[in-house]
Amino acid sequence: MSLNLLQAWQGAKKRLEAAGLAGPVIDARLLVEAAADATRADIVGDPYRALTPEQEAKLEDFLSRREHREPVSHILGRKGFWKIMLNVNSDVLTPRPDTETVVEWVLRDFPDHAAWSVLDLGVGSGAILLSILSERPAAKGLGVDVSEEALAVARDNAANLGLASRVALLRGDWTTGLGDDSFDLVVSNPPYIASDVIETLEPEVRDHEPRLALEGGADGLDHYRVLAPEILRVLKPGGRFAVEIGYDQKAAVEALFRAAGATDVQTLKDLGDRDRVVAGAKKPLET
């Protein structure tokens, strides 16, 4: 006997609940929708539609992967961020809603139709850079990543979103090779988790997401030590930056940017009211 959409959803919820997962209801819905090629409206509007044997087999595969704590984003191969949909895999950090704080800050201050340039250091899937470019049609961007595999994901996403002509993607070690005074805006979500905290993370993150995108050395701050002076070097005078931080890193990261000569340094909170983004500027030229 084949399952219908409603039975599939209810069964999936039960299994994921039994596995002790944090969000069994939403996960079950997303996995049933993808396996059965159904929309959210189908589950409500057409609940007795039968799954084909292939769809049932696919759902079984998805559920068993989820029970082994593979993230939903990896099972589906995509994740929504800001207003765009991105392809993701285990070579990139899955975009988090917290990171939208960076995008929000940029869109508040950077003009709609002027031609300005943005550099995203550690571009990963392209979440930050491509969200910004999708909302600012005259802006141009450069994304740098040390991982060739991550750049392949970003390249794919740029093409799918019709943004390839305004994005360059380069393999590199942070700002190595980039010229002084080159960008109006620099953004980054660098790895910032302290090494001994990594083992305490949820299995979805610890076992499935790239360490390279997470680990920030003994105190989590290694990359900001490199990035603060380098971001100030590659920014144009008067240019601005915004970098994501861990919830307890405000004081340390603000101090690193002030020591590098930044002005207007401030920390923005995410939707959960945690310190999440340090932003600031490079001094304009004296006139």
Q: Which residues bind ligand GLN (CB under 6 A)?
A: 93, 96, 189-193, 205, 214, 244
Q: Give the nearer residue to ligand GLN in terms of CB position, either 38 or 154.
A: 154
Angle between helices 5-18 and 53-67 (to 10 degrees): 20
Question: Which residues have a Cβ under 8 Å from the Cβ of 151 and sit 6 or more positions away?
Answer: 123, 143, 145, 169, 170, 171
How does DSSP assign 83-124, residue by residue? TEEEE--TTSPPP-GGGHHHHHHHHHHS-SSS--EEEEES-T
Q: How far is the CB of 180 from ligand GLN (least distance, A)?
A: 26
| Identity of the residue, 93 or 102, whose beta carbon is nearer to ligand GLN in the bound complex | 93
CB nearer ligand GLN, residue 193 or residue 228: 193
Check: CB of residue 88 under 8 Å from CB of residue 153: yes
Rg over CA atoms, the chain: 21
Using an 8 Å Cβ cutoff, are 242 and 269 in contact?
Answer: no
Closest CB to ligand GLN among 13 and 269?
269
Rounded distance between C-alpha atoms, residue 236 and residue 119, angstroms? 11
**CB-nearer residue toward ligand GLN: 37 or 196:** 196
Contact criterion met (CB below 8 Å) for 244 and 221: no
- Record the tokens describing residue 57, joined without a space: 């087999």
Q: How near is the Cβ of 127 to ligand GLN at its closest, in Å?
A: 11
Q: To the nearest whole angstrom, how small is the minimum distance from the Cβ of residue 211 to ligand GLN?
A: 10
CB of 119 to ligand GLN, least distance (A): 17
Cβ distance to ligand GLN smaller for residue 5 or 153: 153
Smallest distance, ligand GLN to C-beta of residue 179, A: 26
Q: How far is the CB of 62 from ligand GLN (least distance, A)?
A: 23
